[in-house]
Amino acid sequence: MKRTKQLFVLFIWIAAYQSSNAQGCVAIRNNGGTCTMMGHDEATASPSGFWTFSWNNRYFKSFRHFVGTEEQKQRVAQGTEVINHVFSTELGIIRQFNSRWSLAFFAPVISNARSSLYEHDGKTRHSTHSFGLGDVRLAAYYRLANPAKSSRANVQIGLGIKLPTGDYKYQDYFIKSDSLKVLGPVDQSIQLGDGGTGITLETNAFYNLSKNTSVFINGFYLSNPREQNGVSTARGGVPSVTAIAYGSDVMSVPDQFMVRLGASVAVDRFHFSGGLRMEGVPSEDLIGGSNGFRRPGYVLSVEPVVAYKVHRTQLYLSVPYAVQRNRTQSVPDKIRTQKTGVYSKGDAAFADYTINFGMAFSFK
């Protein structure tokens, strides 16, 4: 049973890292979501005093525009689509105090590039960029059952704080003509942080079907009580009258969520997993106000994962592929609908898939 437990917790570590990652214009950021339910041999034999270093990477290209679940195919056909290239690398350090308690710290470094027509002169494609430290996170984890007595099933919960260390008002130049460029905050989807101090809650559960096979479910929620961060959405210009009237002239500080379930199997040193995951940004936050500019929505993906474990090192590759993308109504959309009597919903650009890879190494 020890091997099955290790297999399951490896994939929870992978999934939880991805739980707060961006997926196109639905601005889900990397907030250091790596779970600590690692289950190494050495952690079971010597439950206290172990450290785990993690290194996680992610890349995606978003370019397909959706309003609701309807793809706006004309955007790509006409060459007016917004293209985001996002790469992030996250470093984490985890302290295992005993078989049930652990503490973790995560720090992401993010590089973004965004190209569009509408943000610039409307005729020629130009790019804006951002690079730097993202929002860091500190979290504590607890296993509800004693792993030594409960090898068939267990549940882990995690509670953390996300700090606004990422620059949430990063600026670059917008090209308005051959002779004019304007300095202003880049789009919300490529800002390095959201400007809020947030609370994170995680839960991970597994059940062993056999010696080498498990089923699992895990979830992540980031609650950002701050409503807005005061950053203008006018890209160095003056907010429009309608943007001010509907509340989309400044950026919102949204919540984020992820739910994932699936099954995993071990074959020698290789581990394979398959499952479904849903992640996104809600239209309204759990705590605090929800006005301000955001692109709420969710992505439903199928997620294959392959991992390799040797001694105290684990390597993985994960490629979630989107099967449904939905851009939902934001609060400004709802205000506009109420004031004009005409149903309003903005669009968002999504990726077809993301590429995630990384490693974890345990030591004492």
The per-residue pLDDT for 41 is 39
pLDDT at 89: 97
Indicate left, alpha or beta for 277 from its phi (over 0: left) and psi (-120 to 50: alpha): beta
Instruction: Count CB atoms within 10 A of the CB of residue 172.
Output: 21
| Residue pLDDT, tens place only, 54-87 | 999 999 999 999 999 999 999 999 999 999 999 9
Q: How much is the mean pLDDT over the chain?
A: 90
What does pTM read for this prediction? 0.90
For the chain, what percent of residues have pLDDT higher than 70? 87
Q: Which residues are 308's β-sheet partners?
A: 270, 315
Residue spans per domain, the chain: 2-363
Strand pairing report for 213-223 and 321-327: unpaired
What is the average pLDDT across 272-282? 96
For the residues 317-321, what does the mean pLDDT come to?
96
Give φ, ψ of 18 to 5 degrees: -80, -10
- Percent of all residues in the chain with a pLDDT value above 90, rounded to a whole number: 83
Note whether 172 and 183 are within 8 A (CB): yes
Q: How confident is the model at residue 11 (pLDDT cuts 50, 70, 90)?
A: low
Q: Does residue 37 have a pLDDT over 70?
A: no
DSSP state, residue 23: B
Q: Which of 29-33, 226-230, 232-236, 276-280 has the lowest mean pLDDT?
A: 29-33
The burial class, CB within 10 Å (0-12 / 13-18 / 19+), for 123 is exposed
Nearest to 162 by CA among 209, 122, 222: 222
Domain 2-363, what fold? Lipocalin (2.40.128)
Q: What are phi and psi of 86, to 5 degrees?
A: -130, 130
Which residues, in sequence order, are CB contacts of 294 under 8 Å at separation 6+?
27, 188, 251, 252, 254, 281, 330, 331
**Placement of tokens 């991992």 in the chain:** 307
Q: Is 241 exposed, middle or buried (0-12, 13-18, 19+ CB in 10 A)?
A: exposed
Q: Write the pLDDT tens digit of every residue in 103-141.
A: 999 999 999 999 999 999 999 999 999 999 999 999 999
Predicted confidence (pLDDT) per residue in 219-231, tens digit? 999 999 999 999 9
pLDDT of residue 2: 53
Contact between residue 277 and residue 305 where contact means Cβ atoms under 8 Å apart: no
Q: Is the pLDDT of residue 40 over 70?
A: no
Task: Report how far apart the first and last C-alpha atoms of the chain are (Å, whole number).
Answer: 24
Q: Which residues pair with 104 in a beta bridge?
A: 94, 139
Tokens representing 73 are 């195919």
CA distances (Å), origin 230, targets 55, 226, 246, 251: 33, 11, 15, 6
| Contacts for 94 with CB less than 8 Å, ≥ 6 apart | 34, 36, 38, 51, 52, 53, 54, 102, 103, 104, 105
Residue 321 has pLDDT above 50, yes or no: yes
